[in-house]
Amino acid sequence: MSRWTVHLEGGPRRVNHAAVAVGHRVYSFGGYCSGEDYETLRQIDVHVFNAVSLCWMKLPPVRTSGREHAREVPYMRYGHTAVLLDDTVYIWGGRNDTEGACNVLYAFDVGSHRWSTPAVSGTIPGARDGHSACVLGKTMYIFGGYEQLADCFSNDIHKLDTTTMTWSLVNARGTPARWRDFHSATIIGTKMFVFGGRADRFGPFHSNNEIYCNKIQVFDTQTNCWLDCPSTQLLPEGRRSHSAFAFNGELYIFGGYNARLDRHYNDLWKFNPESFSWQKVDPKGKGPCPRRRQCCCMVGDKIILFGGTR
């Protein structure tokens, strides 16, 4: 039986941040809060939530000596991604009102709280925000987002082999998912399940004809192929800036926003990849208010949900 429980005040007020769970702690990186200064360039902030004590802590800023060392710490940003691989959090992408979008890879050691910029080679993805990032084995997959230089939505898949720190553009076969940003991509088994996001009716360029797809798109990482998927009877409404996570081999999505309907959501759905079917989940208790751009992290068999806006 699922149930919404504790409501906590006093955490960071953030939207468009990125977070990962490390043991019983959740590390939240960056994002923004209305009213704060984002014109002045400063270090990304890191907040840590302890799921046992239910307390938040903000890490002190990193001391930097010289401009070279300062570049190893990412600047404050939003629309970026964070993934955990062993004891390292990789931060990639996102944008800042001063610097624009970024394509530098940053590594955060959860043991020492030290930042670094690993040397990478290969085909580095163009700077963007609103993309997705997920991990399978030692590989990080980047999909979609809004590319700054091309000024358009992307539907490319890039992968980073963290054993060699080499980027490559995946030569994907099949019919790709639409160009989009602020979607979700979740690994279950060896497949990547893409849901939602904001796209344009006429293609990769933003013409203010937004569409919000509500069909699941599946990419098989073993064959590098987008799969043809059966249609489903019951579907959640299309949305962007929602949360997605996998639990017990099923995909869950929460919240998000549909601009065409001007509607924020606080519904919870689960998708079964075996039966290829959706089911609405109605937990007991008082749930979160409708929102977008929040973070959801699995800690054990619990979901820690925080932040967002409407």
Nearest-angstrom CA–CA distance, 83 and 89: 5
C-alpha distance from residue 227 to each of 172, 173, 220, 223, 297 (Å) = 10, 9, 7, 10, 28
Residue 245, pLDDT > 90, answer yes
Whether pLDDT at 276 is above 80? yes
* For the chain, percent of residues with pLDDT exceeding 70: 97
Beta bridge partners, 115, equal: 108
Q: What is the mean pLDDT of residues 27-33?
A: 93
Residue 36: partners with Cβ closer than 8 Å, 6 or more residues away: none
Task: Please choose, from the candidates 145, 140, 167, the residue with its C-alpha nearest in 3D space to the C-alpha of residue 156.
Answer: 145
Q: For residue 250, is pLDDT > 70?
A: yes
Q: Strands 217-220 and 225-226: what pairing?
A: antiparallel
Residue 114, pLDDT > 70, answer yes
Both structure tokens of 257: 């926003």
Strands 166-169 and 146-147: unpaired
Residue 16 confidence class, pLDDT cut points 50, 70, 90: very high
| 152 backbone dihedrals φ, ψ, rounded to 5° | -155, 165
Average pLDDT of the residues in 43-68: 87
Q: How far apart are CA 28 and CA 30, in angstroms?
A: 7
- Report pLDDT digits (tens) over 59-109: 998 887 665 556 889 999 999 999 999 999 999 999 998 889 999 999 999
Does 118 have pLDDT greater than 70?
yes
pLDDT of residue 267: 97
- With the C-alpha atoms ordered 176, 178, 179, 182, is the resulting torsion angle positive or negative? negative
- CA–CA gap between residue 188 and residue 244 (Å, rounded): 12
Q: Please give the average per-residue pLDDT across 117-123, as a whole number.
A: 97
Q: How far apart are CA 63 and CA 115, in angstroms?
A: 11
According to the model, what pLDDT value does residue 2 have? 85
> What pLDDT sits at residue 68?
53
The pLDDT value given to residue 39: 67
Across 68-92, b (16+ Cβ under 10 Å) vs e yields eeeebbbbbbbbbbbbbbeeebbbb
- Residue 1: per-residue pLDDT: 61
pLDDT at 277: 96
Cβ contact 43:75 at 8 Å: yes
Q: What is residue 230's DSSP assignment?
A: -
pLDDT of res. 112: 95
- Report the C-alpha gap between 202 and 182 in whole angstroms: 18
The percentage of residues in the chain with a pLDDT greater than 90, rounded to a whole number, is 84
pLDDT in tens, 189-234: 999 999 999 999 999 999 989 999 999 999 999 999 999 999 888 8
pLDDT at 63: 81
pLDDT score recorded for residue 65: 67
pLDDT digits (tens, 9 = 90+) for 148-172: 999 999 999 999 999 999 999 999 9
